[in-house]
């Protein structure tokens, strides 16, 4: 009975926590103007190519809209075409559960204008189609606003990143060499053992 009560209480609590603390993407105002140096359809190579992101407060919103803004986090996000059949990249309105934007580009204190950051695409970024989104956080650390390089449907100004393949090739070569070396050593070992055996018999 007590166990039931406890279970019910924790269910209710987690439900309330969900409602009260789960900031949703749809509740955020798009008050930042975000642009990227990438051209639509451009292909960037991971570990090598760079992109420059700029962001600023959209002045058509009333002055003071941004008075509680504290920090900005710029992220690389999967475009819908790269989310199909991949639950681990799924878009969820509750930002705690959203998997759209998994790669941090940069985090900076909020400033209404003159923000820019040049980023070399990190080596571990997977091949996919992306856009850039910036989240604004208030002093509680809650998301308060955003801006992105694409439209609401995430269909324009998308770019691609091509993962590194060179590293895998050299790893493969290394493992082939290692296996060949192991096989040769193994045969060598048997040969030596056999020889030893024969020598022992001859004595």
Please, what is the minimum distance in Å from the beta carbon of residue 150 to ligand NAG? 12
Among 14, 26, 67, 114, binds ligand NAG (CB under 6 A): 114
Q: Nearest 5°: phi and psi at 162?
A: -105, 120
Is residue 58 close enough to count as binding ligand NAG by CB under 6 A? Answer: yes
Nearest by Cα to 156 from 38, 3, 9: 38
Please, what is the minimum distance in Å from the beta carbon of residue 81 to ligand NAG? 23
CB 129 within 8 A of CB 82: yes
d(CA 147, CA 33): 6
Q: Closest CB to ligand NAG among 56 and 162? A: 56
Other CB atoms closer than 10 Å to residue 21's CB: what's the count?
10
Show contacts with ligand NAG in window 1-20 (CB under 6 A).
Answer: none
In sequence order, which residues have a C-beta less than 8 Å from that of residue 29 and are 6 or more positions away?
61, 65, 144, 145, 146
Is residue 33 close enough to count as binding ligand NAG by CB under 6 A? Answer: yes
Q: Is 110 exposed, middle or buried (CB count within 10 Å of its CB: 0-12, 13-18, 19+)?
A: buried
Please, what is the minimum distance in Å from the beta carbon of residue 33 to ligand NAG? 4
Please, what is the minimum distance in Å from the beta carbon of residue 24 to ligand NAG? 19
Is residue 60 close enough to count as binding ligand NAG by CB under 6 A? Answer: yes
Is residue 26 close enough to count as binding ligand NAG by CB under 6 A? Answer: no
Please, what is the minimum distance in Å from the beta carbon of residue 31 to ligand NAG? 7
- In the complex, the residues that contact ligand NAG under the rule CB under 6 A are 33, 58, 60, 114
């Amino acid at each position: 009975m007590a166990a039931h009560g406890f279970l019910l209480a924790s269910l209710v609590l987690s439900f309330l926590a969900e409602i009260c603390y789960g900031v949703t993407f749809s509740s955020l105002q798009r008050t930042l103007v975000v642009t990227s140096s990438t051209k639509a359809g451009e292909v960037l190579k991971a570990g090598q190519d760079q992109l420059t992101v700029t962001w600023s407060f959209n002045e058509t919103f009333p002055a003071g809209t941004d008075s509680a803004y504290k920090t900005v986090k710029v992220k690389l996000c999967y475009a819908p075409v790269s989310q199909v059949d991949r639950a681990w990249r799924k878009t969820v309105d509750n930002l705690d559960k959203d998997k759209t934007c998994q790669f941090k580009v940069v985090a900076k204190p909020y400033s209404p204008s003159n923000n820019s950051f040049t980023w070399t695409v990190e080596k571990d970024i997977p091949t996919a189609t992306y856009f850039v989104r910036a989240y604004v956080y208030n002093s509680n650390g809650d998301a308060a606003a955003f801006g992105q390089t694409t439209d609401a449907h995430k269909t324009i100004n998308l770019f691609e990143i091509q993962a590194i393949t060179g590293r895998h090739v050299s790893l493969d070569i290394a493992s082939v060499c290692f296996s060949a070396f192991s096989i040769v050593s193994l045969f060598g070992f048997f040969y030596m053992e056999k020889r030893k055996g024969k020598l022992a018999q001859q004595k």
